[in-house]
Every structure is written in C-alpha cells, then in structure tokens.
Amino acid sequence: MRGQMFPSNFGELLEACISFCRESEKRMKSERVQENRAKLSSFVEAFHKQCGTLTPSVQERIEDLKNEDCIVLMTAHQPNFFAYSGVLRKATLNFVLAERLHKEFNVPVVNFFGIADQDFTDDRWVRSCELPAVQRSGGILSLNVKVPEKMMLNRVSKPSSDHLKSWRTEIEKWIDDASGSLRRSCNAFGFSEKFAILYSKLRENFGLFWNIVEDSYEHAEKYSDFNAFVMSKIINSAWGYDTLFTRFSECQQIFVDEFGYLLSRFDDYSLLLKEARELPGTEDLAGGVSDQEPWLAPFWYHCDCGGKFKLFVQEKDGSLFGTGNCVRCGEYIELGFGAKKSPDISGIASKISARAIPMSLVFFNGLVPSCYVGGIGGFKYLLQAQHIANRLEIPFPPLTFWRPHDRYLGLEQAIAVLEQKRICADLNVQSLSEARNCLESRISEIQKKLGALEESRKKMIEELKNDPNNNSLKEEIKRISISHTQWVRSSNLSVVTQQLKTLENVNTVLKLVPCIIDYAVNVGLKEASDQWIRYLIENGNLSLDFTINSVLDEIGANLGLSPSIWEQL
Ligand SMILES: [Zn+2]
C-alpha cells in the first residue's frame, strides 16, 4: 500500500515536498494563510513560555512563522503518557526534512507539532505506557493513570505528586530488578567491573530523564500539559530541535474561515464523506468515517462539564443550525451558524475543536503545510480527508508515517536473550521456536497421560456408586490418585510450564515497542535522536526496522549476545 499512496523513503518524500512547495507558493503567500500563521505564532509562544522551552531557536522559528516565504511542516498527536518512540520520532522526520528544504529553497522552514489536547480521555495510550519486563506476568510492566471517562484531556488535572513518586519507585525497581539479573551473569563471566560502570550509566540516563519529568510536572496544571511538556522538553531541550508546539484546544479558533468554508459547502462535504466510506484500498484499515459523520458539523462544541457536544447540522429558512447532546452529561444544545451561503462561527470559535476528518482539512487549508507526518492509527482518516480535500479544492500536502521497530539491547532485551539461551541449552535446541515446540509437546504429552489417569479414576468412582463395598475398587482409585501425584512431580510439569511462560515473555519483550523510558535509560535520549537522524540521512527507508546502539552493547558482545537476536523472531 505504502509505495502507491505515499513516499516510502526519505528521498521520495523530499521530492514530493519540493514539488508541493513549488505548486502551492501562491496559496502559502495568500493574506488569509499569512494571518493564520501569525495568529498561530502567539499560541506557540504561550505554550513554550509555560513549558519552559522557549529556546533561542524556537524563538527564531516563531518569528519565521510571520515571514511570507516560510514553509511549514506539520505533525500532531495526543499528549500520550510517556509517549512511545513513534510519537516523538515524527518530530525527527520533520526536523531532517526541514533542514533539506531550507537548503533547497533558502527560506525559513518551521516544524509544527500540534498537541491534540481536546481529544477524549478514552484512548489507551493517554492512560498507560508499557515497558518490557521478562520476569513480570505477561512480560510487560505497565504504568497507569486513572482519568475520568469522556472528558477532554485538557480538562483533567495533573495527577497528585504521590503518583509521580510511585512511578519513579516503580521504574527504579524495574531498573534494579533487571540489573540484578544481568549482574549475576556478568559476575559469572568475570565482568563485575564493567557491569558497575554500566549500572551507573543506566542510573545517570534515568536521572536525566526524570529531571525532565519533574520539571514538566512543576510547570503543568493539567494532565495533558504534563504529558505535552515532557514531549516538548525531550524534543526542544534534550534533542535541541526547533519544533514549535501548540495546543489544539487553543489554536483551532484561528480557523473560523476554514470551518465556515466547510459549512458553506456542507451538502458537498456531506456527500464526499459518504463517498469516502467506500474508498477503494482502505477497507482493511481501522478507523475512518463513522455512520453519522455525513450529518455532523465538522467540529465538536465544548461543554462546561468537560465533555463535548456532537452537533447535527440542520437547515431552516436559509440558515444553518447545529443541534445535539453532550456525550458526557447529556445536555441538549442548539447553535446558530448563520446564513447557509456565508456561515459565521466566530461567536463560538473559542469553544470548538475539529472532528477527526476535518482536522486535517482546516489545518491544511488554513496553514498550507508542505508535509504531514501521520500515525498508523489515523491513516484511514487522512486518506478519506484527502478524497474530500481534492474535491473541495483544499490543498493537501504529501503524507507519510515512520514507525519502524528499533532493535536495541536494553536491560530487559539482554535478560530476555540470556533466558532464551539458558532454556535452549537445557532443551538442547537452537532457536526460540524449536524451544517453544519442544516445551509445548512435552506439556501436551504430560497432560495426555494425566488426562487418561483422571478419566479412569472418574470411571471407577462411577462404578463404586453401584458397588459401594467393593474394596479392591477403592484400592485401585487410591493407587491411581497416587500415580497422578507422582506423575505431576516426576514430569516436572510446573518447571516446564514456567519455562514456556518465560519463553512467551521473551517473545513479548523482543517484539514490544516500548515507551520512551526504555530508550531514555538504555540508549540515552540524545543518542536515540542522533541515531534516527543518521539513519534518515544515510538510509532513509521509512518502512524498515533497524538496529540502534545502546549503552549495553559492549557487555552484550562480551556475553555473546549477537545483534542478530531479532532475526529469528
Ligand atoms: Zn456536558
């Protein structure tokens, strides 16, 4: 799908963006877009001031937004809880792209990162994050936050400082548990000193990350800001990018004209939404236009309760209205949007936010960005939005996404491979899949034998009911029960079952796409960004998984943990 619909490597993406910039120059320089960008700059500045990331380069880019030659690149995401790398590397891709476009055109290029903080609290990744953990049930340690349902994220207060402390304790325990395991292996091979150096590096890396977390916590009042500030501090401070952040909840009021345009073309817009549902090639993708969408206003209206009104568009005597209920408290509302031919929503602009499909339509129409880096989950929406944009003469930039699985040797990945090696050696097999097959067939053999014993015991108990004084039958039942217990013991069923569980956890750990904490500790924040940038410049394939270096590489080599461990998965 990738090759046909969007660029599959960095070079192609760059070419597509260059063409788009050339074709769209007039639109970018239009008075309306220039005004929107200037308005956006004030919201950007407010965000970075509050976050504490108004760095000199951020300040320069804010000024650049008011330059009529400026090229804008865009991405957006919800303020995830300790986001995973897929969220943060969107900024890396735009950062590298911006440098190249600046070289090509010699004009200012701005990376814009929208924080979708008016989205509902229901998404899994704004409530939890995951770390690999071989010894824990399921192979995963997850940190969780309790937030009310169906609320806008920016209406939820930040968690208490006790939560912050408990996360820190959990993460430190996670590092220490895993370090304990690895230390034993290192001691056995005579690498105690090397391990001591490694351990202090891991703790130092965690310390740097936790400073960011505590600083973000202090600057934030709302939960969404806490998460967004962590993202901005990683990207702007630790990585030194000039990415500009804004809260969607604040900046969408800029787009009064763009929302008005969609309302003025509502009949076409509605029809195109119906068509978009049947778009060929998107059948297997998740998400996309809902059944009600063609009848809904392109925006939510914010309720005082923290929820949002879903508005159905109606027409009466040449005027448009939106009517509907708040999805949280159920209250009913009726809002006038003005004359059908020239709707005006300026009176309610500060209390609206775009629905999923029109989000890209108003941003692309209003700011004319030259690239949009999306996420996997939102891709169907973007393809459907593209269909609508093309027919409503709304500019639509080249789209891409970049979500490989980084392969690196972190603490848990190292323990996973050591566990796998230990079990394989025990079973005298070579690979994870062989070991799994071997254990599964042993378990099924044992269970078959135990099942047969249980079956004959049941049968004799039935017989005993008809012949209660049959002593030899009683003896036989006793003998079978003893034999059952002996079998469980001698077959090592509990050990074999535990080994299989461990192997499943090994598989989970090596396949997991963990949250940024795993990178911060094992790779280092800055080092992760540097390696991604280098990959984009030297390789640039946006679909391939690739290996990055971690602080464990040297010890890993000493322990015989080859980088090819992932290939057998
Ligand atoms: Zn409400």
Rounded to the nearest angstrom, the distance between the alpha carbon of 151 and the centre of ligand 1 is 9
Q: Residue with structure tokens 């590489």?
A: 553
pLDDT at position 568 over 80: no
CA distances from 451 to 254, 463, 473, 487 (A): 70, 19, 19, 11
What's the rounded mean pLDDT across residues 237-250?
A: 97
What's the rounded mean pLDDT across residues 83-102?
A: 97
Q: Which helix (H) or strand (E) holds 300?
A: strand 299-302
Q: Which helix (H) or strand (E) holds 187?
A: helix 161-188
| Residue-level pLDDT at 567 | 61
What's the rounded mean pLDDT across residues 140-150?
A: 95
| Residue-level pLDDT at 491 | 85
Confidence class for position 416, pLDDT limits 50, 70, 90: very high
Chain length of the chain: 569
| Residue-level pLDDT at 432 | 85
Rounded to the nearest angstrom, the distance between the alpha carbon of 223 and the centre of ligand 1 is 19
Rounded to the nearest angstrom, the distance between the alpha carbon of 297 and the centre of ligand 1 is 17
What's the rounded mean pLDDT across residues 415-425?
A: 92
Rounded to the nearest angstrom, the distance between the alpha carbon of 475 and the centre of ligand 1 is 71
Rounded to the nearest angstrom, the distance between the alpha carbon of 309 and the centre of ligand 1 is 7
Rounded to the nearest angstrom, the distance between the alpha carbon of 290 and the centre of ligand 1 is 21
Tens digit of each residue's pLDDT (9 = 90 or more) over 493-525:
889 999 999 999 999 999 999 999 999 999 999
Rounded to the nearest angstrom, the distance between the alpha carbon of 298 and the centre of ligand 1 is 19
Rounded to the nearest angstrom, the distance between the alpha carbon of 305 and the centre of ligand 1 is 4
What's the rounded mean pLDDT across residues 95-114?
A: 98
Rounded to the nearest angstrom, the distance between the alpha carbon of 328 and the centre of ligand 1 is 5
| Residue-level pLDDT at 431 | 86
Rounded to the nearest angstrom, the distance between the alpha carbon of 354 and the centre of ligand 1 is 17
Angle at 144 between CA 142 and CA 146, to 5 degrees: 165
Rounded to the nearest angstrom, the distance between the alpha carbon of 77 and the centre of ligand 1 is 24
Tens digit of each residue's pLDDT (9 = 90 or more) over 519-559:
999 999 999 999 999 999 999 999 999 999 999 999 998 88
Nearest Cα to Cα of residue 354 among 288, 262, 445:
262
Q: Supply the mean pLDDT for the chain.
A: 94
| Residue-level pLDDT at 387 | 95
| Residue-level pLDDT at 565 | 64
Confidence class for position 283, pLDDT limits 50, 70, 90: confident
Rounded to the nearest angstrom, the distance between the alpha carbon of 385 and the centre of ligand 1 is 28
Angle at 93 between CA 87 and CA 95, to 5 degrees: 110
Rounded to the nearest angstrom, the distance between the alpha carbon of 299 and the centre of ligand 1 is 15
Top pLDDT among 97 and 291 is at 97
| Residue-level pLDDT at 278 | 87
Q: Residue with structure tokens 């269970």?
A: 447
For residue 299, the cross-strand partners are: 354
pLDDT at position 297 over 90: yes
Confidence class for position 564, pLDDT limits 50, 70, 90: low
Rounded to the nearest angstrom, the distance between the alpha carbon of 427 and the centre of ligand 1 is 60
CA distances from 163 to 129, 147, 174, 204 (A): 14, 13, 16, 22
Residue 143: count of CB within 10 angstroms of its CB: 19
Q: Residue with structure tokens 């795993």?
A: 518
| Residue-level pLDDT at 563 | 59
Rounded to the nearest angstrom, the distance between the alpha carbon of 331 and the centre of ligand 1 is 6
Rounded to the nearest angstrom, the distance between the alpha carbon of 230 and the centre of ligand 1 is 29
DSSP β-ladder status, 546-547 and 406-407: parallel
Confidence class for position 566, pLDDT limits 50, 70, 90: low
pLDDT at position 31 over 90: yes
Rounded to the nearest angstrom, the distance between the alpha carbon of 506 and the centre of ligand 1 is 45
Rounded to the nearest angstrom, the distance between the alpha carbon of 149 and the centre of ligand 1 is 12
Rounded to the nearest angstrom, the distance between the alpha carbon of 304 and the centre of ligand 1 is 6
Confidence class for position 488, pLDDT limits 50, 70, 90: confident
CA distances from 188 to 174, 182, 436, 560 (A): 22, 10, 27, 13
Top pLDDT among 454 and 363 is at 363
Rounded to the nearest angstrom, the distance between the alpha carbon of 301 and the centre of ligand 1 is 10
Rounded to the nearest angstrom, the distance between the alpha carbon of 245 and the centre of ligand 1 is 28
Angle at 332 between CA 329 and CA 334, to 5 degrees: 145
Rounded to the nearest angstrom, the distance between the alpha carbon of 274 and the centre of ligand 1 is 28
- Any idea of the CA torsion for 533, 535, 538, 541, to the nearest 10 degrees? -120
Tens digit of each residue's pLDDT (9 = 90 or more) over 35-62:
999 999 999 999 999 999 999 999 999 9
Sign of the CA dihedral running 408, 409, 412, 415:
positive
Rounded to the nearest angstrom, the distance between the alpha carbon of 327 and the centre of ligand 1 is 7
Rounded to the nearest angstrom, the distance between the alpha carbon of 323 and the centre of ligand 1 is 14
Rounded to the nearest angstrom, the distance between the alpha carbon of 325 and the centre of ligand 1 is 8
What percentage of the chain exceeds 70 in pLDDT? 98
CB 127 within 8 A of CB 81: yes
Rounded to the nearest angstrom, the distance between the alpha carbon of 368 and the centre of ligand 1 is 33
Rounded to the nearest angstrom, the distance between the alpha carbon of 324 and the centre of ligand 1 is 11
What is the Cα–Cα distance from 425 to 427, expressed in whole angstroms? 5
Top pLDDT among 282 and 426 is at 426
Rounded to the nearest angstrom, the distance between the alpha carbon of 44 and the centre of ligand 1 is 28
Rounded to the nearest angstrom, the distance between the alpha carbon of 326 and the centre of ligand 1 is 5
Rounded to the nearest angstrom, the distance between the alpha carbon of 107 and the centre of ligand 1 is 46
For residue 436, the cross-strand partners are: none
Rounded to the nearest angstrom, the distance between the alpha carbon of 126 and the centre of ligand 1 is 21
Q: Residue with structure tokens 């904490």?
A: 517
Residue 291's SS3 state is: coil
Rounded to the nearest angstrom, the distance between the alpha carbon of 329 and the centre of ligand 1 is 4
